[in-house]
Amino acid sequence: SVVDFIEAQDKHVTEAYWRSYLSGIVSTPIGSINSNVPSTAPCEEPLEMVFKIPLADVSNVAQRAGVTVAEFTKLAWAATLRKYTRQNDVVFGQVLANRDIPVKDADRILGPLLSTVPCRVKFDDAALLSSLMSGIELERGDMMCHTHASLIDLKRWSAVEGDLFDTLFVFQNMPGETAFEDSIGFSVLETEATPYSLEYTFELIVEPNEFELIAHALYKPSMVSRTQARLMLDEFEHTLDQLYTLVETDASVCALWELSPAQTKFIKDASFGPEMDLPYELLHHAFEEWAEKRPDARAIEFEGEWLSYEELNKQANTLACELVAMGVCVGSRVAVIMERCLEFPIGLLAVLKVGAVMMPIDASFPADRILYILVDANATCVITTGPHLPFIQEFSGIPIVVFSSETLAPLPKTFEVSTNNVASPDDEAYIVYTSGSTDQWILV
């Protein structure tokens, strides 16, 4: 009997198997958003989708890959979860029928054989998809004698903090209704289906009929919304289609990262808020208005010296006139090479006023790094202060503007904006190079 089979299994071997299988896993639940759907909400329509590729074709591809249709769809679900958790080590619950155990007439036994155990899939982006299939196939035989373990024991053996898993995969491979009722000797009555799960954040039930695969989704409203559940179901369909298309090619596992059009659109829409009119079209416009409203207020201060908004604005205008005379305009990239001083914000503001791109560079950087940045960004000119001029002249062959706040103050100039110096909100404004060995630049 089933009970005799379970009692005959070595409990220590089962524990050792599951401890090894679950070693090092980290809980990665997908449920996090409370959508405020009450538990007494009216019954909604079930969430389901019909896979567009005929079941016979899916079955043939799975067979050639050495797995069952159930394992094929389970792997597609694992790849779907990977997209949501952003983890290459995915764990979810799976309901097993256990009709392969060596017990007489096990294939005719229903409820007592069902068990829920973890399924763990590790993804290696550099590996071929075919290697994933091989792993699923090997797991089938290894796990068969240990699926009777309880979830309480499994949780304890895993030593994981939080839930072991919060999603469930079910492949409901039942015979036709008439044949099934004849085999068990009684009739099965269907109850009204709801899209809600009482225990798991998300349950995926895949059910083949004679010609096609149908997937049903159940979700916990307190954890995910119906819209999110629908998107997950759609993403599973897309991933299953990906797997079907790629499994017999030389594609690598990383191809399964590709998102569905629906998910891509959702992310794109969520990444950009509504367009709103801003009070200032460009950054320095806000400063210029403030300089008019509060001309005497302190704008910058360094080592006991300070400039008011009016003084800072006038000195930046004077420096901007010099930049325009050198041909600096919209699109020009101007390196502001200084250490912390009053002149640093004057230089940045002057660059913005002429519509150019400011590139702040710390003068303490090694010469070879500064030269690399200037060449890599194709800088038009350099703005610096007197103390750094000899250092920059040693390696830079581009024009250099040297100034100080003291020299600008007595000779104010009115900056007249020409068409070549009128930037738009879509033009480059700021380039900064990241620290580290790669020296990648970020454009704003």
Average pLDDT value for the chain: 84
Write down the residue that tokens 């369909």 correspond to. 237
Which has the closest alpha carbon to 129: 79, 176, 87? 79
Provide the pLDDT for residue 189: 45
pLDDT band at 35 (very low <50, low <70, confident <90, very high): very low
Mean local confidence (pLDDT), 105-132: 78
pLDDT tens-place string over residues 246-287: 988 889 999 999 999 988 888 888 877 777 777 778 888 888
Q: Measure the CA–CA gap between 312 and 353, rounded to whole angstroms.
A: 13
- Which one is predicted more confidently, 82 or 438? 82
Tokens at 420, concatenated: 């070549």
Q: Specify whether domain 283-443 bears CATH 3.40.50.980.
A: yes
362 residue type, one letter: D
Question: Phi first, then psi: what are they for 290, rounded to 5°?
Answer: -65, -35
Q: Quick one: pLDDT at residue 344?
A: 94
H or E element: which one contains 95?
strand 89-96
Cα 341 to Cα 305: distance, rounded to the nearest angstrom: 10
Please state which of the ranges 42-46, 61-65, 386-390, 402-406 shows the lowest mean pLDDT: 42-46
> By percentage, how much of the chain surpasses pLDDT 90?
45
Q: How many residues does the chain have?
A: 444
Question: Can you give the residue ranges of every domain in the chain?
Answer: 2-33+43-271, 283-443
Tokens of 107: 């294939």
Q: Give the model confidence (pLDDT) of 390-402 as tens digits.
A: 888 887 788 999 9
User: Which pLDDT belongs to residue 420?
Assistant: 86
Q: Pick the closest to residue 18 from 147, 138, 123 (CA basis).
A: 147
Q: What is the mean pLDDT of residues 74-100?
A: 88
Span 2-33+43-271 CATH architecture = 2-Layer Sandwich (3.30)
CA quadruple 103, 106, 112, 115: dihedral sign: positive
pLDDT of residue 195: 85
Dihedral class, residue 268 (left if φ above 0, else alpha if ψ from -120 to 50, else beta): alpha
As a whole number of angstroms, the distance between CA 91 and CA 394 comes to 59
Q: Which residue has the higher pLDDT, 105 or 116?
A: 116
Q: What is the pLDDT of residue 437?
A: 46
pLDDT digits (tens, 9 = 90+) for 127-186: 988 888 887 766 766 787 788 888 999 999 998 888 899 999 999 875 444 444 444 444
Structure tokens at 429: 């404004």
- pLDDT confidence tier of residue 37, bands split at 50, 70 and 90: very low
Residue 409 sits at φ, ψ, to 5 deg, of -60, -45
Distances (CA, A) of 301 to 305, 306, 354: 6, 4, 24
What is the C-alpha to C-alpha distance for residues 160 and 164, in angstroms, rounded to an integer?
7
The CA distance from 411 to 104, in Å, is 102
- Residues 432, 435, 436, 439: what is their CA dihedral angle, to the nearest 10 degrees? 10
pLDDT, position 187: 46
* Per-residue CA distances from 123 to 25, 222, 432 (Å): 13, 30, 35
pLDDT at 43: 53
Percent pLDDT > 70 in the chain is: 85
**Lowest-confidence region among 31-45, 128-142, 165-179, 327-341:** 31-45
Backbone dihedral angles phi then psi of residue 9, each to the nearest 5 degrees = -75, 140
User: Which pLDDT tens digit goes with each residue over 192-233?
Assistant: 567 898 889 999 999 998 899 999 999 999 888 888 899 999
Q: What is the pLDDT of residue 106?
A: 53
C-alpha angle 390-393-398 in degrees, rounded to nearest 5:
150
Compute the average pLDDT of residues 400-422.
Answer: 89
Nearest to 48 by CA among 254, 267, 209: 209
Dmax over Cα atoms in the chain, in whole Å? 104
Above 80 in pLDDT, residue 42?
no
In CATH terms, are 2-33+43-271 and 283-443 the same topology? no
Q: Give the gyration radius of the chain's Cα atoms.
A: 33
Q: Identify which has the larger pLDDT, 372 or 139.
A: 372
pLDDT score of 423: 87
Model confidence at 50: pLDDT above 70: yes
CA dist 133 and 118 (Å) reads: 18
Number of H helices, E strands in the chain: 15, 14
